[in-house]
């Protein structure tokens, strides 16, 4: 059987059968893949710590015809995320990243942009970038890559350019200007627009400017998360752990 190999991010594992593990990973070439790592629960197994969540790895696997699960034959650890999990907030951020990537990604649809986003965020967290910023950075680009980020600059109803406070449309797929909005529940004010602009123009490891306050990042989270929940049709489990 031909063996595939790819750089990948391990999203999570769970116990499978007596001695194996089910591995869910996001690979550079094929996106979301699920596989079985045989013997991964045995003492001193060949996988070592390479299957820990959010590890960046080179993974080797082969596919069986008409089988959803691939067989993972080997996995080399390139960058461990293990130590980051000792910080509660970083652990929450990384778990949120993994859950959304798994839930939103169609099975085996390659999405290299998303792969690069995941890797850059894991690296930025490792060098100590603030997670309250990284989480917004992730949400913005995640919505964008998945094609569900509303146009924040144009009113969905009157098509006028938005220059002051706007409101997320109740169906969460657009933004309405102050005149057109009926239900004014989730606000998008110019301060938040500035934060979005910052995210668009900077790599994740750049420290955000002091002009954007902690409260703005939080409010922006409410906007992004409403859109995420609307499209996912459920509340991500890890969202309840995020207090930033």
Residue closer to Zn ion by CB (options 33, 166) is 166
- Select the span of 24-32, 100-108, 177-185, 234-242 touching Zn ion (CB under 5 A): 177-185
Locate tokens 């299957």: which residue? 51
- How far apart are CB 152 and Zn ion at their closest, in Å? 13
Pick out residues in 180-239 that bind Zn ion (CB under 5 A): 180
- The reply on whether position 165 binds Zn ion by CB under 5 A is no
What residues have CB less than 8 Å from 6, skipping those under 6 apart? Answer: 27, 28, 29, 30, 58, 59
Residue closer to Zn ion by CB (options 125, 176) is 176
Q: How many residues bind Zn ion (CB under 5 A)?
A: 5
The sign of the torsion formed by the CA atoms of 63, 46, 8, 221 equals: positive
Residue closer to Zn ion by CB (options 154, 238) is 154
Q: Single out the residue of 23, 40, 20, 41 nearest to residue 32, CA to CA.
A: 23
Cβ atoms of residues 11 and 24 within 8 Å: yes
How many Å apart are CA 238 and CA 213, to the nearest integer? 24
Enter the tokens of residue 6.
């790819």
- How far apart are CB 177 and Zn ion at their closest, in Å? 3
**Side-chain-side CA neighbours of residue 195 (13 Å):** 26
Enter the tokens of residue 177.
């200007």
Candidate residues 17, 158, 163, 207; the one interacting with Zn ion per rule CB under 5 A = 158
Cβ atoms of residues 155 and 162 within 8 Å: yes
- How far apart are CB 67 and Zn ion at their closest, in Å? 51
What residues have CB less than 8 Å from 243, skipping those under 6 apart? Answer: 92
Residue closer to Zn ion by CB (options 20, 169) is 169
- The reply on whether position 154 binds Zn ion by CB under 5 A is no
Residue closer to Zn ion by CB (options 37, 155) is 155
- The reply on whether position 168 binds Zn ion by CB under 5 A is no
- How far apart are CB 181 and Zn ion at their closest, in Å? 8
- The reply on whether position 155 binds Zn ion by CB under 5 A is yes
- How far apart are CB 162 and Zn ion at their closest, in Å? 8
- The reply on whether position 177 binds Zn ion by CB under 5 A is yes
Cβ atoms of residues 31 and 106 within 8 Å: yes
Candidate residues 12, 144, 157, 191; the one interacting with Zn ion per rule CB under 5 A = 157
- How far apart are CB 215 and Zn ion at their closest, in Å? 26
- Select the span of 14-22, 94-102, 155-163, 217-225 touching Zn ion (CB under 5 A): 155-163
How many Å apart are CA 7 and CA 58, to the nearest integer? 4
Cβ atoms of residues 36 and 20 within 8 Å: yes
Residues that bind Zn ion (CB under 5 A): 155, 157-158, 177, 180
């Amino acid at each position: 059987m031909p063996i595939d190999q790819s750089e990948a991010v391990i999203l999570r594992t769970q116990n499978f059968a007596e001695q194996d593990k089910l591995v869910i990973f996001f690979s550079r070439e094929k996106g979301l893949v699920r596989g079985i790592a045989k013997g991964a629960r045995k003492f001193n197994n060949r996988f070592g710590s390479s299957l820990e969540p959010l590890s960046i790895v080179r993974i080797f696997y082969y596919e069986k015809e008409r089988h959803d699960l691939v067989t993972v034959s080997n996995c080399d650890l390139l960058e461990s995320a293990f130590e980051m999990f000792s910080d509660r907030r970083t652990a929450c951020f990384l778990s949120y990243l993994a859950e959304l990537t798994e839930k939103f990604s169609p099975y085996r649809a390659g999405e290299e942009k998303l792969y690069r986003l995941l890797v850059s965020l894991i690296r930025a967290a490792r060098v100590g970038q603030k997670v309250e910023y990284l989480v917004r950075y992730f949400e913005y680009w995640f919505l964008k890559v998945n094609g569900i980020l509303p146009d924040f600059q144009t009113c969905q109803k009157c098509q006028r350019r938005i220059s002051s406070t706007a409101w997320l449309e109740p169906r969460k797929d657009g933004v309405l200007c102050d005149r057109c909005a009926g239900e004014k529940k989730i606000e998008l004010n110019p301060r938040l627009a500035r934060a979005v602009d910052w995210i668009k123009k900077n790599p994740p490891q750049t420290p955000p400017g002091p002009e954007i306050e902690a409260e703005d990042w939080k409010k922006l989270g409410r906007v992004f998360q409403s859109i995420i929940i609307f499209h996912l049709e459920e509340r991500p489990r890890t969202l309840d752990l995020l207090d930033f």
